[in-house]
Amino acid sequence: MRAQMNPHFMFNALNSIQDLILKQDTDASYDYIVMFAQLIRDSLNYSNHDFITLEKELGFLKIYLELEKLRIGNDFNYTIDLKEDESIEVPSLLIQPFIENALVHGLIHKKGIKTLKINFNIINNILECTITDNGIGRKKAKEILNRQGNHHQSFALQAIEKRLEVFYKKYNKNVGYKITDLYENETPIGTKVVLTIPYNARF
């Protein structure tokens, strides 16, 4: 299933490279290709491992986010807040599809400044990854998808749900994710995903 997820976001990255080439943006195209090559190397290497260090997972996510920043523009900003030891091991390539979902459905259609916040924290021996965006919200995103005639669920998320089921059965602990719509005075101001995942402490 990890191998099946790779083509999903690689295809999107290739589309972004194509857009830059068509715009004859040579410098950005070169930077994008270099980072894309690193993304491929990392995804192929990490997909063969059940767990990788959080440091490697964060490096992978930063490359992916920099690729998306090149595509979306300078009005997109992201932060990664980590209060834990980067040497702990986490399931490989598990977090990226949730970030992609926030970008594609929540932020890409938003006008103005687009922000994405990713926080890691261990609470009661459970690792939580919280992904918060200030996008248009799930309701508006669904309306846009319906107008575009796109009614299918993300394949990557379907695969992720199956992986989480496997982890739940194996570790018999709180594993899964919860999505919360954020509002201010009944106006959508974004979406928050709390992902609870197993981890291995390294000594």
Q: In terms of pLDDT, which residue wins out, 81 or 167?
A: 81
Whole-number mean pLDDT of the chain? Answer: 84
pLDDT above 90: percentage of residues in the chain: 34
Rounded to 5 degrees, what are φ and ψ at 23? -85, 0
Residue 153 has a pLDDT of 55
HSE-CB of 123 using CA atoms within 13 angstroms? 11
- Residues 18-33: tens digit of each pLDDT: 888 888 888 888 888 9
pLDDT above 70: percentage of residues in the chain: 90
Model-level pTM?
Answer: 0.86
Q: Is the pLDDT confidence value at 13 over 80?
A: no
Residue 55 has a pLDDT of 92
Domains assigned to the chain: 2-197 (3.30.565.10)
Residue 58 has a pLDDT of 94
Alpha-helix residue ranges (DSSP H) falling in the chain: 2-22, 26-46, 54-72, 96-101, 138-147, 155-171
Residue 203 has a pLDDT of 54
- Residues 74-116: tens digit of each pLDDT: 899 999 998 767 789 999 888 988 998 898 888 988 999 999 9
- Residues 50-65: tens digit of each pLDDT: 899 999 999 999 999 9
CA separation for the pair 58, 53 (Å, rounded):
9
- Residues 137-154: tens digit of each pLDDT: 888 888 877 777 665 556
